[in-house]
Amino acid sequence: MSETLLLALALVCILEGTMPFLFPKQWKEGFLKIASLTEGQIRFVGLVAILIGITLFLF
């Protein structure tokens, strides 16, 4: 179980690092746009991401 969790965390780190590594300017611009959202909008995006993750996990 812990080995699987560690592998999943490693995959997340790889995927999260790909955009700033390959496209740093576009990633920064996108990050600044996200930072300008309200807290409610950011929470909604987080909720959607959680729901997508749970859905993918179950199937």
Render pLDDT for 42-56 as a digit per residue (tens, 0 to 9). Answer: 999 999 999 999 999
Residue 1 has pLDDT above 80, yes or no: no
Residue 30 has pLDDT above 90, yes or no: yes
State the chain's mean pLDDT as an integer: 93
* Three-class secondary structure of residue 53 per DSSP: helix
Helix, strand, coil percent content, the chain, rounded in steps of 5: 90, 0, 10
* Three-class secondary structure of residue 59 per DSSP: coil
Cα 44 to chain centroid, rounded: 13
Average pLDDT over residues 13-40: 95
Query: The pTM is what?
Result: 0.68
Residue 59 has pLDDT above 90, yes or no: no
Task: Report the chain's C-alpha Rg in angstroms.
Answer: 14
